[in-house]
Amino acid sequence: LALAYLAAALRAAGASVQVVDRENQGEETLLRVARDLRPHLVGVSVAMPMLKPALELAARLRRALPDSVLAAGGPLTHTHAPELLTAGGFDLAVQGEGEAAVIELARVALEGRPGLAQVTGLAGAVLRLSGGVHSNPPRRPDPDLDALPMPALDLLPAASRLVRHPLAGSRGRAAALLTSRGCVYHCRFCYQYPFKQVYRQHSPERVVEEMTRLNRRYGTVHFRFLDDLFTLDRARTLALCQLLCRRLPGVSWHCGTRLDLLDRELLRELAGAGCRVVNFGLESGDPDDLARLSKTSRRDPTEVVQACVEAGIDVIGQFILGFPWDTRGSMLARARHARRLPLRAATFWPLIPFPGTPLYEEALRTHGEFDATFFEHTGLDDPGPLFSPVYSPPGLTRREVGRYAAWAQLAFHARPGSLVRLLSAG
Ligand code: B12
């Protein structure tokens, strides 16, 4: 979505834009397009699991396009701008939302790399100057999301635009959408960056308009809402559901939210408007764990999950294993708690303490096994840390945490009832 939002902003400003999705089209295609096009500006979107591949890509782009401006953006620029500039050879890193920034940057880039002298005025830019790495004042989050053009999904390759999804039917494809940006909570495992902490939302009209266009153009009947907190504003959620019932009956969708942002009436409305699945980061069933994660909720998970099921909405629960204070017993208890909940599916993730999160600092202080620079030597092409843990609490090895996560997953899904629920998805 980031690429599609940036492309839409540039296109609305009159630029000619080409998007290449390295994940789906591969790096060779990306480099071939870059060589053929010789663009003024190449922007690369970087999140933590992509640091290593992004640095390697930047070096190849630099060799292929010595005169183009190379810019990095995305969540990682908030903690790793110096690395992107020095190890990666990016000309600059842009922190914060990119829609306005990329237009200003494109104007500067028309003059090629010498024009970069002017980006000293670009809010949110971090760049190399003779005196070292220099950070401009921060960029303010865009206050009016509806003023942003809709993401230019038409510029993405088909495979990135829509993905297969069980709820989209056998031939159907699902589209991703954001109806809000930001989050008001501060869970200690989550990467917090300035613009994420300012919650803003699209109007229900704009959301339904975007869905209607996707439905007409691509026949999309299932939508994935990627918001951090889809139901934070109850009144807006209700208004959105009512509008969806009137304007797009028959579509289905799924979203993610918190236990304490749902009630029975809201659940009825969500279900009536096409919500089929809600995804919760449940993390743990033990209130002490949740307090240590700064993720307290006064709601009982069993009661909320049951209310979802009664409303006709399936629930997927995400759990974490390997907190700095975890023991074998506490991990087993967490897996047992998950099995007692009427969930459609559950995922048990080994904790990845990401730099920029309070849990990273805590993991460094405990004397567990911690490959604290894992992101420097791994990437999505090598999804090791997503499956084999980078951290284990004192008294446990990383391999053990990985085995507990695999076992918890198996024990959850190998039950006959759970298998039936999983296979009947859709
Ligand atoms: C949807 C999502 C997923 C999806 C899809 C991921 C994907 N690859 O598309 C799934 C569920 C698969 C997922 C998985 C993971 N995710 Co995730 N995910 C998100 C989420 C909720 C939304 C991403 C999104 O589309 N945002 C909307 C776009 C518009 O925002 P954006 O990407 O930040 O882009 C804006 C700016 O950053 C900027 N910008 C971006 N690129 C560029 C480039 C240039 C040149 C410029 C100028 C500007 C610019 O402009 C954009 C528009 O304003 C974010 C949290 C969030 N709210 O953003 C986490 C988030 C990106 N995920 C995160 C993590 C940690 C993961 C996992 C590693 C989790 C795990 N432990 O397994 C995995 C990694 C797998 C992977 N393939 O990447 C972290 C990344 C932290 C970091 N330091 O990089 C985030 C930020 C959550 C968090 N707060 O901790 N994720």
The CB of 53 under 6 Å from ligand 1? The reply is: no
Q: What pLDDT score does 426 carry? A: 41
Q: What pLDDT score does 377 carry? A: 78
Contact indicator for 300, 339 with CB cutoff of 8 Å: no
Closest ligand 1 atom number to CA of residue 193: 89
The CB of 47 under 6 Å from ligand 1? The reply is: yes
The CB of 83 under 6 Å from ligand 1? The reply is: no
Closest CA to 221 of 173, 293, 254, 186: 173
The CB of 351 under 6 Å from ligand 1? The reply is: no
Contact partners, residue 361, CB within 8 Å, separation at least 6? none
The first and second tokens of residue 396, run together, are 């446990």
Query: Maximum CA pair distance of the chain?
Result: 65
**Dihedral of the CA atoms 208, 211, 217, 218 (nearest 10)?**
-160
Q: What pLDDT score does 375 carry? A: 82
The CB of 150 under 6 Å from ligand 1? The reply is: no
The CB of 97 under 6 Å from ligand 1? The reply is: yes
Mode of pairing for the β-strands spanning 162-164 and 132-135: unpaired
The CB of 211 under 6 Å from ligand 1? The reply is: no
pTM: 0.93
The CB of 70 under 6 Å from ligand 1? The reply is: no
CA of 165 to the centre of ligand 1 (A): 20
Pocket test for ligand 1, best of 190, 191, 352 (most atoms within 8 A of CB): 191
Contact partners, residue 125, CB within 8 Å, separation at least 6? 92, 93, 94, 95, 101, 105, 119, 135, 136
The CB of 94 under 6 Å from ligand 1? The reply is: yes
The CB of 317 under 6 Å from ligand 1? The reply is: no
Closest ligand 1 atom number to CA of residue 71: 45
Which sign does the torsion angle of CA 72, 200, 272, 422 carry? positive
Q: What pLDDT score does 382 carry? A: 58
The first and second tokens of residue 215, run together, are 């439905």
The CB of 43 under 6 Å from ligand 1? The reply is: yes
Measured distance CA(55)–CA(72) in Å, rounded: 10
Q: What pLDDT score does 145 carry? A: 96
CA of 205 to the centre of ligand 1 (A): 25
CA of 48 to the centre of ligand 1 (A): 9
pLDDT block averages, 10 residues each, the chain of length 426:
95 93 92 94 86 90 93 92 88 94 91 74 87 88 94 93 78 88 94 84 98 94 95 98 96 96 97 97 96 92 97 97 97 97 95 93 93 78 65 95 94 81 58
Residue nearest to atom 18 of ligand 1 (CA): 226
A 10 A CB-CB count for 192 gives 15
Contact indicator for 320, 351 with CB cutoff of 8 Å: yes
Closest ligand 1 atom number to CA of residue 182: 57
Q: What pLDDT score does 410 carry? A: 94
The H-or-E segment that residue 347 falls in is: strand 345-350
Q: What pLDDT score does 385 carry? A: 52
